[in-house]
Structure 1
Amino acid sequence: MNKTLLLFKTMVKMHFSMVGKDEKFKFNVFIISIALIPIGIMWMFLLNTIISSLYLVLEPTGHESIIIATGLVLTGILLLFTSIPSILSSFYFAEDIEDYLAMPFHPYQLVIGKSLAPLLTIYGLSAVIIVPILFFYGLASGGGILFALNGFLTFIFFPLIPFILSSLMVMVLMRYANISKNKDRTKLVAGMFSLFLIVGFNVIIRLNQDTEQLSQGFATWVEQQDQLLWNFTKFLPNVYAATNALEVEVWWHSILFLILFLLITVIAMALFIVFGQRFYYQGVLGIAGGGKGKKVANIETRTSSRSILWSYTIKELKTIIRTPAFFMNCVINSLFAPFFIFIMMFIDENIGAMADTLQSIAPKSILLAMFLFSLFVLGTNATATSSISREGTNWFTNLYMPIQPKTILYGKLLAAWIVEFVSIVLLLILFGFVINVPIIVLLLWLILVIGGSWISNLIGVYIDIYNPKLNWNDEQQVFKSRFAPLLSLLILFFGFGTLVLSLWFLPFVTNVWITFLILSIVIGASIYFTQRKLIQTVHNQFMYIMEK
């Protein structure tokens, strides 16, 4: 037990270590925290409205506890699936796993220690969902000290069950599946599964948005009073126990269910330790094994003469595509917004009316709105803001290759631009074939957004050069707790947002061609000065990036 606590404490210190973190990093964390406050206030207001309304409806029927049960079930399902990529990355695919294997620890001790990163993600989501639900439910029901105590224990122990279930599935899969030659594919499939689960959930809600039908179905469901709560939560016993524990009208009844809830959690933790001891080492050793049946190709048939710039660009693209963490954060996440909007509008029955309304809007306003929205989508892409950081400790190899720093810079910029071009194509389909934007406006937008994409990448690479994150053990750390993507988006959105608003209200800018001309001049000038400054920065900072 002492070794387990020592290992966990060591991993906690390494994860939260501020060694090498300058004051700029701390300031960035502070700014991000401040920026999240308005979003948190809006989320709290929304939850308070929903819970208060539901409580007024359900309290006369005696089924107000369904609010807690629903929140816990949805949270449990969300945690169950979203934790799988983090568990895979931390348990099996972290760079430091081989270092721990040589130490005198049991498999279950390593599993407990490696649970830190996934648990941080899970408790973060739980704090955003479970805590507000319990807080506003307590206000509505007038819960006292016993409710507060049970709610606190629920928040502490409830996320462990979804985490343990996900861990057990992953450990069994990694033990018996042929993962050794499909390591990257496994992480990619897990991440995309979580993403498509979220999209699918929203699509189902969208398809079933008839409020009268939903209200009637919900009323009929509530009228089924016999074993209602059990029928709702029987596939997650800890939800049933936790919900009854939070019903504090009869204190001893609440205490008994609290004990049952804690007992279920303890049993799950025991299973987690047993499975970790039984399956973890075999799964890790299976990854270390080499793949079989690989063909040896003739290198002469696979080489061709190409420019250094294009070769470096292809190298960057292959790194992004073949590394699941990079592919998910640089490609898939950037496609989420246009893909999600495309799905929502495709299944919207009023899309024809929207297209007709668009015909009555001035082309200038359409162009400005499309351009500003596109900048927001492109600004959220993390390819440019991670261009230097993706190299990690291998950055020093660029110092020895016979390639000019400017060529490396343009290779990274071109790779980021190609990745963003996929989002541009999706937006083009959305605007041109779904919303039916006029063809002239669509062509002008396409020219502007291509230039906007390049300036977006210039800003992102410039920020990453001055504050790269090279000392990472897991590819996910390149994108976690970083201020660079948000800073790039704010610079891009504030600068061009101010310009768009000015052009929108200026009385003498009434023609779409004048609007296009002004935007083109500003984008061209921005590209010239930013690119010139970036090249100077690369020549000055190229040798010193490793020291950051």
Structure 2
Amino acid sequence: MNKAWKLMRIMVKMQLSMANKSTTEKVGYLLIGLMMIPFGLLVLFFIQGLIGSMYAALEPLGNESVILGLLFVMMTFFYCFISIGTVLSSFYFAEDVESFISLPFEPYQILFGKSAVPFLSLYGLNSILLLPSLIFYGIHSSSGMLYYLFAVLIWALTPIIPFVLTAIILMFIMRFANISKNKDRTKVLVGLMGFIFAIGINVLLRLDAGTGNSDISQMFTQQNALLELITKFFPTAYFSSIALTEIGSWTGLLYFLTFICLSVAAIVLYLTVGQRFYFKGVLGLSGGRRKTFKEEKMQKQLKPQSVFVSLWKKEMRIILRTPTFFTQIVVQSLFFPLFFIVLIIMDPNGPLTGWGSQLNEMEGKKVILSMFGLTVVALGINPASFSSISRDGKSWFNHLYLPIPASNIILSKLLVSFFINFLSLLLLSVAALFVLKVPLMIWLVWFIISLITGWIASMAGLMIDFYSPKLNWTDEREVFKGRFIGIVPLALEATVFGVIILILWTSGLHGIWSTSAVLTGILIILTVLIQYFLTMMVKRKYYNIL
């Protein structure tokens, strides 16, 4: 294991070192860290209030363990979902994968080292959500030092089993899939697993929630009965919850030791499976399929078209054919609206089902501003916008030698970003019109305002990437990972649009038409201003990007 630990330290330094970062990037990280402080305090305040209210309601019934059960189930879901992308990127799609094969290392040692960075990303999420939640639960339950000792150990071990199970499943898929003949296509399909997993888990849990109201009321009177229902598909969440709620008893100690043994067994199984299957999946990546070039067939596909259309198609094909770009841009952008639709369809009697018919009874100003706020959240983070320039990498400089105006190239990238936002709006429109039954006129006003908002969000993201692009990447993941660039446009948009919503909300406007007219006018003015600054930036920086 000594070699494995050394290899892990080397890989962590290679990916997380600040040695080659510019002063601008270091300052950017510092500013982002400072910006996250108030956001983190807001998250802590929300978690504390939520756990406090749930504990006050469930403790008299003896079902306070449900709080921990829900917490561990949620975290297990997050671990599996995040691990799909990080495992595929680090284990198989990184440029340095095959270079390690020729080195004198065993497969399990390379796998151990490769697991470091994906596992650190899980611990980042672990520290933001799970750790403060366990602390707040201990405070509300007036637990002693033994609880906090168990909680820290469980906190450290909780990501292991979800990560191991996800990685083993992916290793089997990559081992037996015919990836040598369909390399890029397989990467895209496997990358979609995260999206399908998130939707599938939601559907599975809702299908299983067919228990009658009378049965649920009986579970509230039986200790741990409700916990067993919630953690039915996640046994480790049940073990962890019992271990922390029955501190000092033999039952709690038994479940705690069982959880530790399962975690150790998972690590052993992970390294054993990796020793046997990891190299076989990696070696399959280097294969390819020879295609016969036929000039007659190629000539039939060649059609004259404008330069602008060609640029737009080129950008879209790069996104759709590059696995990392496809999963990070298309899948991530469409996840929220699709998940929202599935959530409503699978819960036809939920609180959102009759929401559309109630809009006519609400004050018009509140309706349009609330829907506008939803649009800002849905379109705020658009990876297609803040990767517009960086996606080209070192090939960006080819644009400088082509007889194509800079405005055409920038506009084509801008329209690609806007097109992704447009797809999200179409999906949300389907949910609004056919599921929520939103009145047609209200939808039309919202849709027009959302189109303008999507264009502003696209320009804002492009300008930020234009200001500090990442062109010297060797792996497509570097365009998105470690830059935190997606937070910057979201923070700016939340600040600007939040101020606009606050001003209009407290203004003397009341009707939907007057509010919409003022809001549309403000957005048009913002669009003109941002377009002007973008044009000035293109003139100054287009031929001087380093």
Name the residue aligned to 2:321: 322
- Whether contact under 8 Å (1:238, 1:261) holds in the other structure is no
Q: How does 1:326-405 map to 2 (within 5 A)?
A: 326-346=325-345, 347-349=347-349, 354-361=355-362, 363=364, 365-405=366-406
Q: How does 1:62-211 map to 2 (within 5 A)?
A: 71-72=71-72, 75-76=75-76, 78-139=78-139, 142-202=142-202, 208=209
Deviations along 1:271-329, one digit per CA (max 9) or x if unpaired, are: 32222222211111111111367886732122211121211111111122223332333
CA distance in 2, matches of 1:483, 1:416: 18
Q: Say if 2:278 is the partner of 1:280.
A: yes
- Whether contact under 8 Å (1:458, 1:534) holds in the other structure is yes
Instruction: State the number of aligned residues.
Output: 538
CA drift at 1:540:
1.9
Letter in 2 for 1:423: S
> Match of 1:22, SS?
helix
Letter in 2 for 1:34: P
CA distance in 1, matches of 2:380, 2:195: 20
> Match of 1:104, SS?
coil
**Distance verdict in 2 for CA 1:535–1:510, change over 3 Å:** same
Note the residue ranges of structure 2 that are not aligned, 5 or more in a row.
none
CA distance in 2, matches of 1:83, 1:494: 31
CA drift at 1:461:
0.6
- Structure 1 stretch 408-417 or stretch 176-185: which is displaced more? 176-185
**Distance verdict in 2 for CA 1:147–1:445, change over 3 Å:** closer
Name the residue aligned to 2:456: 455
Name the residue aligned to 1:430: 431
- Whether contact under 8 Å (1:52, 1:136) holds in the other structure is no
**Distance verdict in 2 for CA 1:262–1:319, change over 3 Å:** same
CA distance in 2, matches of 1:47, 1:223: 18
- Whether contact under 8 Å (2:461, 2:489) holds in the other structure is yes
Q: Say if 2:84 is the partner of 1:45.
A: no
- Whether contact under 8 Å (1:181, 1:290) holds in the other structure is yes
CA distance in 2, matches of 1:129, 1:336: 22
- Whether contact under 8 Å (1:92, 1:284) holds in the other structure is yes
**Distance verdict in 2 for CA 1:300–1:154, change over 3 Å:** same
- Whether contact under 8 Å (1:55, 1:140) holds in the other structure is no
Q: How does 1:212-361 map to 2 (within 5 A)?
A: 212-213=213-214, 215-216=216-217, 218-219=219-220, 222=223, 236=235, 240=239, 243-244=242-243, 247-249=246-248, 261-291=259-289, 298-346=297-345, 347-349=347-349, 354-361=355-362
Deviations along 1:347-380, one digit per CA (max 9) or x if unpaired, are: 4446675444322345555444433432332223
Name the residue aligned to 2:411: 410
> Match of 2:93, SS?
coil
CA distance in 1, matches of 2:118, 2:529: 43
RMSD, aligned α-carbons: 3.7
CA distance in 1, matches of 2:79, 2:188: 18
- Whether contact under 8 Å (1:367, 1:512) holds in the other structure is yes
CA distance in 1, matches of 2:5, 2:370: 55
- Structure 1 stretch 214-223 or stretch 79-88: which is displaced more? 214-223
**Distance verdict in 2 for CA 1:4–1:483, change over 3 Å:** closer
- Whether contact under 8 Å (1:150, 1:246) holds in the other structure is no
Deviations along 1:390-423, one digit per CA (max 9) or x if unpaired, are: 2234333333433332221111001111111112
- Whether contact under 8 Å (1:29, 1:481) holds in the other structure is no
Letter in 2 for 1:273: L
TM-score between the two structures when normalised by the length of structure 2 = 0.84
- Whether contact under 8 Å (2:380, 2:493) holds in the other structure is yes
- Structure 1 stretch 172-181 or stretch 236-245: which is displaced more? 236-245
- Structure 1 stretch 84-93 or stretch 485-494: which is displaced more? 485-494
- Structure 1 stretch 154-163 or stretch 441-450: which is displaced more? 441-450
**Distance verdict in 2 for CA 1:93–1:353, change over 3 Å:** closer
- Whether contact under 8 Å (1:69, 1:240) holds in the other structure is no
- Whether contact under 8 Å (1:84, 1:167) holds in the other structure is yes
CA distance in 2, matches of 1:142, 1:365: 42
CA distance in 1, matches of 2:3, 2:411: 50
CA drift at 1:483:
4.2
TM-score between the two structures when normalised by the length of structure 1 = 0.84
Deviations along 1:25-52, one digit per CA (max 9) or x if unpaired, are: 3212331343232023202321343345
CA drift at 1:121:
2.7
Q: Say if 2:424 is the partner of 1:420.
A: no
CA drift at 1:238:
9.5
- Whether contact under 8 Å (1:76, 1:162) holds in the other structure is yes
CA drift at 1:8:
0.9
CA distance in 2, matches of 1:537, 1:275: 52
**Distance verdict in 2 for CA 1:79–1:214, change over 3 Å:** farther
Letter in 1 for 2:269: L
- Whether contact under 8 Å (1:134, 1:151) holds in the other structure is yes
Name the residue aligned to 1:24: 28
> Match of 1:384, SS?
coil
CA distance in 2, matches of 1:321, 1:202: 26
CA distance in 2, matches of 1:238, 1:423: 34
Letter in 2 for 1:30: L
**Distance verdict in 2 for CA 1:203–1:232, change over 3 Å:** closer
